[in-house]
Amino acid sequence: MTRPAASGENAAMVRGCVKTLLVLVACVGLSYVLVAGRVPPPRDRFAALAAGLSLWLGWGCVETAGEARRNMAALRAAMAGERPLDGARAAAIGPIHAASGRPLAAPISGKPCVLYEYGIHTTGSEESKEPLAAGFALAPSEMRSPAGPIRLLGYPMNTKLQEHVRVAPADRERATAYLASTAFEPRSASSSRR
């Protein structure tokens, strides 16, 4: 299952791409200014391109190192129990719990949980399996961090969900009852791209 990118994520990606291209153009242009007159044409263009690409890659390394340093600072602050500032880069570490104290019940296993994702397929080989139903749910949640509870306002990414292939009779009965009592939306090519 893929989640659609938010418009803010798209705008940030576009800004990042434009910034990177502008830096590449600036690096190649600066290199050409430095190389012109010292290297005979047409080799001056190739030398400027090679030097510009090298500068650009170096800039990328410095930019990545800065991003890693900011991420590490956020992680250290989270581990120290510092409360995140609103609107600032932050990290949070801790277990996720239902904010209401009432977790969801996973539709197949019946176990209490805060987040579940499921897929029900026909049996058979990997090539012949056909999806019957798929879905996910997230209860209003909070992360219990050393800084105190932090309300989660979105679907957590990079979550290590326990994946189980269920074949127990009780699980089959719960899955059958869930399929019979749940209204599913048909999935079309246009809805899967959103």
pLDDT tens per residue across all 194 residues of the chain: 444 455 667 888 999 999 999 999 999 999 999 998 899 988 999 999 999 999 999 999 999 999 999 999 998 998 898 888 888 888 888 888 999 888 998 888 888 988 888 887 777 666 777 777 888 888 999 989 888 898 888 776 655 656 656 668 888 888 888 888 888 877 655 444 44
- pLDDT (0 to 100) of residue 2: 44
- Is residue 151 within 8 A of residue 94, CB to CB? The reply is no
CA-based nearest residue to 24, from 65, 1, 55, 63: 55
**Does residue 71 belong to any structural domain of this protein?**
yes
Residues 103 and 176 in one domain: yes
**Helix residue ranges per DSSP H, 2-124:** 7-35, 43-79
The number of beta carbons lying within 10 Å of the beta carbon of residue 79 is 13
Query: How many distinct structural domains can be found in the chain?
Result: 2
Residues 102 and 175 in one domain: yes
Non-local (6+) Cβ contacts of 20 within 8 A are: 60
- pLDDT (0 to 100) of residue 191: 47
User: pTM of the prediction?
Assistant: 0.56
**Does residue 193 belong to any structural domain of this protein?**
no
Task: Tell me the residue range of the domain where 174 lies.
Answer: 96-183
- pLDDT (0 to 100) of residue 164: 58
- pLDDT (0 to 100) of residue 157: 65
Non-local (6+) Cβ contacts of 93 within 8 A are: 75, 78, 79, 143, 145, 146
- pLDDT (0 to 100) of residue 186: 74
- pLDDT (0 to 100) of residue 52: 95
Backbone dihedral angles phi then psi of residue 132, each to the nearest 5 degrees: -100, -40
Q: Which of 50, 79, 108 is the last residue of a domain?
A: 79
**Does residue 19 belong to any structural domain of this protein?**
yes
Residues 69 and 34 in one domain: yes
**Does residue 151 belong to any structural domain of this protein?**
yes
Residues 150 and 106 in one domain: yes
- pLDDT (0 to 100) of residue 180: 87
Q: What's the rounded Cα separation, in Å, for the pair 26 and 34?
A: 12
